[in-house]
Structure 1
Amino acid sequence: MANVQELSDYTREIAQRLGIHKYDVYGSSTDSTSVQVDQGEPKQVKASNRSSIVVRVWNEKQTMGVTSTTDIDPKGIELALKTAQEASYFGVKENIPDFSPESTNPVVEIEPQTATIAEVPVLIETLIQAEKELIAAHPAITSVPYNGLSQQDLDHFYLNSAGAVRYERHNTTSMYLYSKTEENGKKPRSAGSFRLSNGLNQLDVDGCIKEAAEKTISHLNYQKVKTGKYRVVFSAEAFLQLLSVFSNLFNAQSILDQQSLSTPDSLGRAIASPLLSVCDDALHPQNIAKETFDGEGTPTRRTPIITDGILTSFLHSAGTAKRLNTQPTGNANIGAKVTVSPHFYHVFPGQPAQEVLSLAEAENVIWIDDLQALHAGANALQGSFSLPFDGWLVNKGERISIDSATVAGDFREVLKSIIYVESELELTPGGVCPRIWVDQLSITGES
């Protein structure tokens, strides 16, 4: 990507020549390389470069036009500015997007999150060895049909006519392993694991192999579970899956669009057990892909969403914050329209629990490790869900894999029915979260 200060300089010169007084430019670029293997041989190697530049221009009537491009040399910027300027006369007349009031505020200084990019042969060799060790972990494990090792080099920038110039870059490396078993007279069983780091040298490959093997082996001796109401323990990943599906609860844009389970008056109300607290924290120390500013140039920050069960804040762009008379939170994504999304969840205990619960002592508890069919089995606007899951029936530390079952309920009731939030946090792609205990959820298994 071009030098951002240089880009800012010639964009300003071109805008002045075109008679454009107000504009902003947001851009992002991703270079990625990924490999997959199959039975000790390379299966697929992919390399891609994806970039997107969004240019917005406001005219003398203060209506806005927007265009996108992938060309950021002077000719490309000039064409984009002209196109956006022409489009501005057809822009919306109500709730017109504007600069973030914080677009020129200082951002938090963090150390660059960059690492050496590994060569493709090294990626393939690492993944082949991981596949080999996972298959060797147990005679029943015959293949690792889904696997991948990928690297991404990401950078993004924001600049505007008010003097904002922001840029940052970081790397991520990720691995996933999903193994499959074959045993005579038994159904195939599968389980997976995922790891993320800044670079291959920091990636916990051994931990990924070990977790995938342990989970897969634990599913070999499976049983049906009777239909009924159970005390349920959600793994960190499973709880964050649900939280993400129903994130319209605290998404200001969804609330203003009336596509949410909340309303503007929901702030300050108890929506969950007082044992639960949730923040969105782009700058969390365990967030591999920290971002110090959003698509509108607003500095990111730690935003309390739920505090001791109370809905304390929505996630905002500059536009939603203005309409709801508050401050942006640094959660805007800029494009043809501005959207809002979380960065990195931090879920942790709220008020102290009256009783400490443990899987080593619990009886007849369902431990849900991973939820499936989220796109089809959850209704985000109604709050309801009915989802197949992978998990175990746990009795005093002994876990028995569940053959096949679904968990159903209303997410709002799930939040209010939380009876324990463990203290140990687990890192997932979507954030950090402990195991969450919920009382009396409907499990459909054997009739």
Structure 2
Amino acid sequence: VIVDGRSGVATATMTGPEALEELLAEARVNAADAGVDPVAAVAGPDGVAPPDLELYDRRIESLSVEDKAEIALALEAAVMGGDRRMCGVEGADYGDSVVVSAVANTAGIRAAQRESGAGLSVYAMASDGAETQTGFGFAVGRTGQELSVELTAAEAVGRSVRLLGATKPPSGKVNVVLDPWVTAQFLGVIAEMLSGEEVRKGRTPFADRLGEVVASPLVTLLDDPTDPRAPGASLTDDEGLACRRVDLISGGTLAGFLHNSVTGAVLGGGSTGSAIRSGSSLSVGPRAVRMLPGATARDDVLAAVGDGLLVTEVSGLHSGVNPTSGDFSCGVEGLLLRNGEVAEPIREAIVASTLQRMLTEVLSVGDDETWFPIDASGVTLAIESLSLAGA
């Protein structure tokens, strides 16, 4: 509720008339203790129709508990049989859900949707007798019947085995190729910095750069929850407004920001259907970030780089990014590249730069777009000259 510019939020686990009356009363009490926000308002209909998406797959209802257990066991068995160096599985999981949600308010918003989701995940362990390495594999879809146990297991096996014998690389400047999984994580961080909430609060280096060149012309970045392939695809945002494609960077030029109704009103242009509610607070965020893929095959991206580093995993990315300045420093694992070919594995290394510089130094964009359950997809991405700290 919003009372005299003060917002109050309350939650309940029951939906009967009496519970709803108590919920409203609690929200009003909470509003009385909140600070005044002069732009606080309830979102009203903006005339944009929700996308035509089918987010629910009825086949999800046909899987019994026993079926789901068998999927998880089959995943474990596929990992253990995938390579003679496999020595264990930390966990093999299958999970699914059906979510029904609705949004209604006094300004005329009425929205509802039903969606299903299913996922496989596995953490594999490989050993060469001297050391043990782990690797993950996962898959997401609208129902379990869409997921491949074999491909998920193969991913985990490959990630664990290829890091056996890894050492610290030499320090210096190095051309870097990001694996799609790593690219997706970076894109998620960049998209969060293109939030109207961050612009409003002056906490992003992109705040005053709308219409300026901020990236290589190879870079087109967007948030598109109308894409049915995206795990985060949705009919409406958390204010009940229709989700829509939002162009963030177009051919290297900063094209827009993500907005909810409040930031859209303050900064102009209105909501982009990007409201996100986390717990009691309403904010702004991406649902389906993607960089438009290029026309270059992954092997050709590696070949063009020549000598460099293929990064297959990052650690500490979110904590290692300064969202105000764009500076970042994070741990990496991966494989050295020699003459465009994958060479020995490396670990315990750190790459550092700024996100702004990284965007402008993109050398090549792969054609291998892959969606991940982190509200983003990724492609193989080559970047010129990042700082690498190793041995």
Q: TM-score, normalised by structure 1?
A: 0.79
Matches of residues 336-351 of structure 1 in structure 2 within 5 Å?
Answer: 336-349=280-293
Segment drifting more, 157-166 vs 99-108: 99-108
1:230 alignment partner, one of 174, 180, 200: 174
Matches of residues 36-435 of structure 1 in structure 2 within 5 Å?
Answer: 56=1, 58-59=2-3, 61=4, 64-89=7-32, 91-102=34-45, 105-114=48-57, 115-117=59-61, 118-184=63-129, 186-263=130-207, 265-334=208-277, 336-349=280-293, 357-360=300-303, 362-395=305-338, 396-429=340-373, 430-435=375-380
Question: Whole-Å Cα distance in 2 between the matches of residues 62 and 408 of structure 1?
Answer: 43
Asked if structure 1 preserves the Cα contact closer than 8 Å seen for 2:137 and 2:153, the reply is yes
Question: Whole-Å Cα distance in 1 between the matches of residues 148 and 357 of structure 2?
Answer: 37
Displacement of 1:154 after TM fit? 1.6
Displacement of 1:373 after TM fit? 2.1
User: SS state of the match for residue 321, structure 1?
Assistant: helix
Asked if structure 2 preserves the Cα contact closer than 8 Å seen for 1:103 and 1:297, the reply is no
User: SS state of the match for residue 215, structure 2?
Assistant: coil
Aligned-CA RMSD value: 2.4
Displacement of 1:182 after TM fit? 2.2
User: SS state of the match for residue 98, structure 1?
Assistant: coil
Residues 268 and 141 of structure 1: is their aligned pair in 2 closer, same or farther, counting only changes over 3 Å?
A: same
Aligned residue pairs total 384
Question: Whole-Å Cα distance in 2 between the matches of residues 385 and 64 of structure 1?
Answer: 35
User: SS state of the match for residue 377, structure 1?
Assistant: coil
Question: Whole-Å Cα distance in 2 between the matches of residues 149 and 414 of structure 1?
Answer: 36
Residues 69 and 375 of structure 1: is their aligned pair in 2 closer, same or farther, counting only changes over 3 Å?
A: same
Residues 375 and 106 of structure 1: is their aligned pair in 2 closer, same or farther, counting only changes over 3 Å?
A: closer
Question: Whole-Å Cα distance in 2 between the matches of residues 245 and 432 of structure 1?
Answer: 12
Residues 106 and 137 of structure 1: is their aligned pair in 2 closer, same or farther, counting only changes over 3 Å?
A: closer
Question: Whole-Å Cα distance in 1 between the matches of residues 363 and 342 of structure 2?
Answer: 21
Asked if structure 1 preserves the Cα contact closer than 8 Å seen for 2:119 and 2:139, the reply is yes
Q: Match for 2:291: what amino acid? A: V
Residues 135 and 360 of structure 1: is their aligned pair in 2 closer, same or farther, counting only changes over 3 Å?
A: farther
User: SS state of the match for residue 67, structure 1?
Assistant: coil
Question: Whole-Å Cα distance in 2 between the matches of residues 158 and 223 of structure 1?
Answer: 52
Displacement of 1:399 after TM fit? 3.2
1:437 alignment partner, one of 360, 366, 382: 382
Displacement of 1:398 after TM fit? 3.3
User: SS state of the match for residue 404, structure 1?
Assistant: strand
**Runs of 5+ unmatched residues, structure 1:** 1-55
**Runs of 5+ unmatched residues, structure 2:** none
Q: Match for 1:100: what amino acid? A: A
Asked if structure 2 preserves the Cα contact closer than 8 Å seen for 1:103 and 1:164, the reply is no
Displacement of 1:190 after TM fit? 1.9
Displacement of 1:112 after TM fit? 4.2
Larger gyration radius, structure 1 or structure 2: 1
Name the % identity.
22
Displacement of 1:326 after TM fit? 1.1
Deviations 1:372-426 (A, max 9, x none): 1224433333322222222111223333211432211111111111111122312
Segment drifting more, 103-112 vs 143-152: 103-112
Asked if structure 2 preserves the Cα contact closer than 8 Å seen for 1:248 and 1:260, the reply is no
Question: Whole-Å Cα distance in 2 between the matches of residues 206 and 170 of structure 1?
Answer: 26
Q: Match for 2:366: what amino acid? A: E
Question: Whole-Å Cα distance in 1 between the matches of residues 109 and 168 of structure 2?
Answer: 59
Segment drifting more, 421-430 vs 95-104: 95-104
Deviations 1:171-223 (A, max 9, x none): 11111122112223x32122211110111111121111112222322223434
User: SS state of the match for residue 66, structure 1?
Assistant: coil
Residues 439 and 145 of structure 1: is their aligned pair in 2 closer, same or farther, counting only changes over 3 Å?
A: same
Residues 62 and 431 of structure 1: is their aligned pair in 2 closer, same or farther, counting only changes over 3 Å?
A: closer
Q: Match for 1:386: what amino acid? A: S
Displacement of 1:246 after TM fit? 3.9
Q: TM-score, normalised by structure 2?
A: 0.90
Question: Whole-Å Cα distance in 2 between the matches of residues 286 and 122 of structure 1?
Answer: 25
Residues 65 and 373 of structure 1: is their aligned pair in 2 closer, same or farther, counting only changes over 3 Å?
A: closer
Asked if structure 2 preserves the Cα contact closer than 8 Å seen for 1:346 and 1:431, the reply is yes
Displacement of 1:228 after TM fit? 1.2
Residues 79 and 385 of structure 1: is their aligned pair in 2 closer, same or farther, counting only changes over 3 Å?
A: same
